[in-house]
Amino acid sequence: MEDLNSILRYAKGKNYPVHNPRGLYVEYLQYEILRSIFRHTTKLSFIGGTALRMIIHTQRFSEDLDFDNFGLSVDEFDILTQKVQNDLAELGFQVQFRNVFKGAYHCYFKFSDMLFRYGFSPHENEKILVRLDTVKQDFGFIPEIAVLENFGMFFEVKHNPKDILLSQKFIAALERNRSKGRDFYDITYLMGITKPNLDYLKQKIGIGSLSELKEKLLERCKEVNFEEMAKDVAPFLFDARDAVRITKFKQYIEQWEVQT
């Protein structure tokens, strides 16, 4: 188990924002959980904002660990999360967990003592929560492998290809009941390096062309207060100026050149 000073030293070496030590410490815990998960299973593929942060190096902290599930059963998930807790306990963490099975599989890891010990909270009993979510995946593709190196750790993870990750972010932006600024931020980041997988979008939400996707996004933009979205994401950004990825999202999509 690394202490806060060690984590801050790692952060300075990688030009991470040391002005947010709590965010850095949560990211360290996420790395420890990930290392344990992929030590014990091959049936999960890393997705979502934290995957983008660790694999593509987006410049924002992310709170949850999300995975596509390729055949992991309820019993296997129970066994996996128990093994993760055991690994964390061996490192010296005081951690409890609770699994919830409602359609998807969810696990809530609660770390005791950390917030008070490092001065993140005046409340001795307040805990750090790291949430793990898995969703069954029925679209056929082969996950990719990435090697993660950070906070003194070095290990492999399986993750969705970038075009699938972007497609999943588009779906989140279009389908959420309540919009999240992080989706718009991540989309602009990914659009600079890949295109969405139209087969995936067609199967999941019936969108079969980039022109149709652009049209749907612009319709959604009419319902979104991007200034408010930017405020929600601001505490997680490495650089506050990056909020422009959210506030100018509509203009960015308007100028997106797609084939009709």
**Which residue intervals of the chain bear CATH 3.10.450.620?**
4-160
> How far apart, in Å, are the Cα atoms of 35 and each of 116, 127, 147?
25, 21, 11
pLDDT above 80: residue 63: yes
Res. 75 pLDDT band, cuts 50 70 90: very high
pLDDT above 70: residue 260: no
pLDDT above 80: residue 259: no
Lowest mean pLDDT among 39-48, 107-116, 127-136: 107-116
pLDDT at 114 (0 to 100): 73
For the domain 4-160, what is the CATH code?
Answer: 3.10.450.620
> How far apart, in Å, are the Cα atoms of 74 and each of 65, 97, 145, 239?
18, 15, 25, 40
